[in-house]
Structure 1
């Protein structure tokens, strides 16, 4: 095929972005047409709801309707509380104490020895933010794992995942979106035997919890950029306390390209991804590291509980990955 890409996967259609080389669902090579190698498996889980009945009145849904036929409440996209675990990765998402629903999304996955996670935080001022968050998280983890499974290096795979997430978030905008289409933030993490790699758009964060704990991301907000000494677009208010986002995913986003950082840790540790529902209560890397002993799922539960017990003013999502991944060793 001389390097030209197919129009799309014969089973799953075109990729979310024209430059993607692999089908985000099955991993088929779109340059050669070859199906995904069966020797490299990928698996992932997400916090999307599996409920078949309305949480408000317990009336069973008849099909795929978006609203309950009995009480009229909108069918939730994500679960109020979800706990996910795979080898080397675990996460918890929770509605918190003050929000009516959970607009955060969580996805974790594995391919070969590599572990990955994605956290998306629905922008509360946008319509159907939970839809944007879950569609973005699932598209991001699927594309990220497919790229890793085909030998793409983690930094490039991270970019491919973020681009797929951006396309998925844009696609959620319907005719009723108006001036505030569905929007979310995005952060992903990949752990291999060689390195830890993160990519982000917005103010969800990634922390390295090991030797020399550190926050690996810089918030894409007015306050975050000013604190990092970075220039702001001239039209923005330069209030150093402003948490207004300057980058996000959605149909009204002008800059959906992820920032990517890679780290080669000096010793074992954990990679933590979280929404601001956690880092509003606990943001210091050393303090987070001190609260992160034990099994991965127990760490995610404990950090979530810290935020809930601290007030739980927002949805809370925590994902934790081990470094090195299971079966690996620090190089």
Structure 2
């Protein structure tokens, strides 16, 4: 994930220089093994620092995130088993059975607030840390109410792993606590929830600023996408290029991408470049809007839709949709994975993350799912 100023054209050539990709000129970290803008392989000039459990910005092991005023079920953040033997990883970061040191809890975590909602967030294969973040909440009753938030930290910015998690949780808490009814008709209810989504992005932006350093040339920044699902009403909003989809079950209508990216690729698509070509071109993943201290516009683009039939509300980062951008491709993938992993949301979310890793895992991966019966 990278940022680009609105004045910089998508096809503008940039001479190679230290700290930039020699192929497309995008900013790159000294520890990067590939360019996030064009995918070109790089030779790291610095060794990646290993983050210890004690350095984590938050505690993720076996924690329960309590909602405000009891407006939704608590979000249970499940502990990971030991990768070596399957035992329990203790608070000190070591397996209580075999003693193996576990990777950072920030590298991979899952959430399951209810039986019909879950999320999985993973570092992927090539990045040295996980700058994605998820935050979800749900009522116990399937289909009644759910909040799904994904934030993708900009890898060329400092402390983006901290900022993205702070933003996702702050935005989720706003949406859990805010239950506007409008005037009781779907249109006014959707408008009221869209207003809450705008507020949640504002709180997310403030959380990035409050949780990260000001004294840096590259302040923490991240994308933002959130969905509020209430019965058959789905309200969504986004900043950047993390996405929301409505993935219908086969035979229940056409799947659809709900959000529109704020990215160079989307500008090229709007100018007539075929979508596949635009999403694979130079600076395709450079974003034009983001949350963070240096953001000039973090107001989300919002919308709503009434859902018909059964299916999945999917919220994800580009670590997933890089490999399956079209809603129809994601529908085929989920149908395939359901046949082996089952239809339980957490199992399916983890299966989708594993699939993205199998495709190369070149970016962090976040998948949040809500099942509509």
TM-score by length of 1: 0.71
- Quick check: 2:72–2:137 contact (8 Å CA) kept in 1? no
The correspondence for 2:169, drawn from 138, 145, 158, is 138
> Equivalent residue for 1:79?
106
The answer to whether the 8 Å contact 2:134/2:149 transfers is yes
Write the distance in 1 (CA, Å) between the matches of 2:128 and 2:92.
Answer: 17
Runs (5+) with no aligned partner, structure 2: 1-65, 81-88, 95-102, 183-188, 273-279
Change (3 A) 1:26 1:301: closer
1:311 matched to 2:360: yes
CA distance in 2, matches of 1:98, 1:262: 35
For the structure 1 residues 285 and 157, does the alpha-carbon distance in structure 2 shift closer, same or farther, using more than 3 Å as the test?
same
Q: In terms of mean alpha carbon deviation, does 144-153 or 198-207 score higher?
A: 144-153
Determine the structure 2 residue equivalent to 1:19: none
Q: How does 1:31-70 map to 2 (within 5 A)?
A: 36=69, 40-45=71-76, 52-53=91-92
The CA RMSD measured in Å over matched residues stands at 2.8
1:105 alignment partner in structure 2: 133
Number of aligned residue pairs: give it.
Answer: 261
Q: Corresponding residue for 2:196?
A: 157
Q: In the alignment, what sits opposite 2:36?
A: none
Deviations 1:209-244, CA, capped at 9 Å, x for gaps: 0121111111111111331359xxxxxxxx964232
Name the CA distance, whole Å, in 2 between partners of 1:47 and 1:173.
26
When normalised by structure 2's length, the TM-score is: 0.64
Over 6 Å off, 4+ runs: 47-51, 149-152
How far off is 1:81 after superposition?
Answer: 1.2
- Among 225, 239, 249, the residue aligned to 1:187: 225
Q: Which whole-Å CA distance do the structure 1 matches of 2:73 and 2:195 have between them?
A: 18
| Greater Cα shift, 154-163 or 302-311 | 154-163
Task: Give ranges in structure 1 of 5+ residues lacking alignment.
Answer: 1-24, 28-35, 56-74, 231-238, 325-331
CA contact (8 A) 2:246 2:255 kept: yes
**Aligned ranges for residues 205-284 of structure 1 at < 5 Å?**
205-210=243-248, 211-229=253-271, 241-242=282-283, 243-284=285-326
Structure showing the higher helix proportion among its residues = 2
